Structure formats: structure tokens, C-alpha cells
């Protein structure tokens, strides 16, 4: 048995919009979800990272920057070096740097996507507006570096705490296709609640074992919490845990990360990205 976590991340956690951590236990190829835990600030996140291993976690935030962007800035391509540099920048300075870069580039070359982003249909890690995944990177990656956890393929270590980049939209798309399942406005939620119920039903089916290599045991009380959570954050935390559990079961390639994955950019763990094909069209985190 190994603990498996899934974390829905935000760049500004608060009691109203916390980080949400799903905790489970993987026995062979069976994932049993134990609980959901909100974390209202980064201090709790840092404390969780310090938990003794072994454990594996899937985090819903970009863990690397595009190689093209790094080269244009003449930054080091080694993850620990450029993440350390980002960690020394305030949020305001990091935002200003990205804004300046975007203004200096011609249309179509302002926000680069990594190879794994293109395969997953994910946003550029440079994106500041709409869904500010760049700020998620700014808050998350330096804390992982400081915690000295293993982050394949960008920073593998001889440590039994393993953090992987997850992207729950891929699992949701596998469940129901291109159908919205979350909203910030509860008044518009009833149709999306039905979609979340369909996602949970799909996860409970034998199809999950066929495509993601694991079966899922989700207590009814937790399933209900995920169904009624109109933000989708608790469901996303579960989907991240499913991706982490899948990666744990994959031996070839190890962790489901292709051997030619860019060690500067990182990799989103999912059977669809590992297959080397575009799994779905563009979708926001």
C-alpha cells in the first residue's frame, strides 16, 4: 500500500477558495479514496510536502516552463536553476516580466506551449489572464524545489516523496467528452452537477481499470461532496489522484513519462499524453 494524493491548486488559496487535497491508498491496482482536505494557505501546503514518504501525488499546476521561453530569456535550462530564479522574484516582478515578454513578441509567439501542453490541450504556463497558470507555477514550483521532493522528469531525486504534474481535464474528457462540469456561479450549476455525476459514474465503472489501469473505491459521502461542489475543485483533486495512481502502476515507460520527455519542460502524466497523440482540444485548467 502506498499513499496517493491529488491536489487541485490555486495561486491564491483562501477559506473561500482553498487548495483541495484528495488522499487515497493504492493497493496493487486498487485506489481507495480516504478523505478530502481543504488547505486555506500555503503554510499547510508546505507542511504537507514535508510529510515522510513513501507517497506519490498528482498536482494540477504546470511544473515547468517552455524551452523556447527559457532560451529567449537566456535562462538556464536546468529546472532547479530556473525555478530557483523564479522563486526569488516577487509575484509583481514575475508578472511584469511575463507582460514585457508578451508585448515584445509578434502575435502567435507571445505564449508558448510545451510539447506536453500541446498533447494534453493545456494552456501555456506563461498565461496570466483568464486562468493564471503562470502564477500557479510561480507559487508551486519553488515550494517543490525547497521541499526537495522528487519531480520527474524535471528534477528526479532519490527521495520517496514523488510529485507529478497532473491535468484533471484529461480524465474528465475521457469520462464525458467536451462538456463543462464546473462553474464559479452556483446559480448556473444544475446541468453541470449532472455532468459531475456522470463523471463519477464513469470512474466507478470497469472502464477505468481498462484505460487507467486502476479501479476506484470512493465512499458515497465523498462522492456526494464532489457532486455538489459546483467549483469542481474536489472532483479535480480526485482526478489528479487517479492520474498519479496510474503513473505509479506504469513500468514502461517508468511512471508513464516517455524517455524523450523534455527535462526542462516537464510532463503531464496520463495515458493519452504517453501515447504521444493529441488527446483532446484546448481546455483551461
Query: Which has the minimum average pLDDT: 55-64, 100-109, 141-150?
Result: 100-109
Task: Please check whether residue 115 lies inside any domain of the structure.
Answer: yes
Q: Which three cell numbers stand for residue 5?
A: 494524493
Q: What pLDDT does residue 280 have?
A: 46
**Count, residues in the chain:** 285
| Global pTM value | 0.94
Query: Which has the minimum average pLDDT: 116-120, 169-173, 175-179, 187-191?
Result: 187-191
Task: Please check whether residue 285 lies inside any domain of the structure.
Answer: no
Q: Are residues 253 and 95 in contact, defined by beta-carbon separation less than 8 angstroms?
A: no
State the total domains in the chain.
1
Q: What pLDDT does residue 200 have?
A: 98
Segment 129-155, tens digit of pLDDT: 999 999 999 999 999 999 999 999 999
Collapsed DSSP state (helix, strand, coil) of residue 37: strand
Task: Please check whether residue 89 lies inside any domain of the structure.
Answer: yes
Q: What pLDDT does residue 185 have?
A: 86
Over its C-alpha atoms, the chain yields an Rg (Å, rounded) of 18
With a cut of 90, say whether residue 186 has pLDDT above it: no
Rounded CA-CA distance 111/42 in Å is 27
Segment 11-24, tens digit of pLDDT: 999 999 999 999 99
Q: Which three cell numbers stand for residue 134?
A: 503562470
Pairing of strands 215-217, 30-39: parallel
Q: What pLDDT does residue 12 have?
A: 97
Q: Where in the sequence is the domain holding 107, given as residue range(s)?
A: 1-280
Amino acid at each position: 500500500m502506498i499513499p496517493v494524493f491529488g491536489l487541485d491548486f490555486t495561486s491564491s488559496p483562501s477559506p473561500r477558495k482553498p487548495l483541495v487535497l484528495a488522499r487515497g491508498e493504492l493497493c496493487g491496482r486498487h485506489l481507495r479514496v480516504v478523505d478530502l482536505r481543504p488547505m486555506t494557505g500555503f503554510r499547510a501546503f508546505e507542511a504537507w510536502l514535508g510529510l515522510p514518504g513513501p507517497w506519490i501525488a498528482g498536482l494540477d499546476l504546470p511544473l515547468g516552463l517552455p524551452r523556447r521561453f527559457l532560451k529567449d530569456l537566456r535562462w538556464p535550462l536546468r529546472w532547479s536553476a530556473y525555478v530557483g530564479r523564479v522563486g526569488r522574484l516577487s509575484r509583481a516582478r514575475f508578472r511584469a516580466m511575463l507582460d514585457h515578454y508578451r508585448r515584445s513578441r509578434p502575435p502567435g509567439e507571445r505564449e508558448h506551449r510545451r510539447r506536453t501542453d500541446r498533447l494534453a490541450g493545456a494552456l501555456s504556463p506563461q498565461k496570466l489572464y483568464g486562468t493564471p497558470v503562470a502564477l500557479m507555477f510561480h507559487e508551486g514550483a519553488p515550494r517543490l524545489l525547497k521541499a526537495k521532493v522528487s519531480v520527474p522528469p524535471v528534477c528526479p531525486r532519490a527521495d520517496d516523496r514523488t510529485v507529478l504534474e497532473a491535468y484533471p481535464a484529461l480524465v474528465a474528457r475521457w469520462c464525458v467528452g467536451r462538456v463543462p462540469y464546473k462553474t464559479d456561479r452556483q446559480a448556473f450549476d444544475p446541468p453541470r452537477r449532472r455532468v459531475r455525476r456522470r463523471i463519477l459514474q464513469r470512474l466507478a465503472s470497469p472502464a477505468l481499470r481498462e484505460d487507467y489501469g486502476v479501479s476506484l473505491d470512493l465512499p458515497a459521502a465523498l462522492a456526494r461532496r464532489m457532486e455538489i461542489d459546483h467549483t469542481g475543485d474536489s472532483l479535480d483533486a480526485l482526478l489528479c489522484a487517479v492520474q498519479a495512481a496510474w503513473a505509479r502502476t506504469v513500468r514502461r515507460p517508468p511512471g508513464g513519462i516517455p524517455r524523450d520527455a523534455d527535462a526542462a519542460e516537464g510532463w503531464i502524466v496520463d495515458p493519452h499524453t504517453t501515447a504521444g497523440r493529441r488527446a483532446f482540444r484546448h481546455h483551461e485548467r
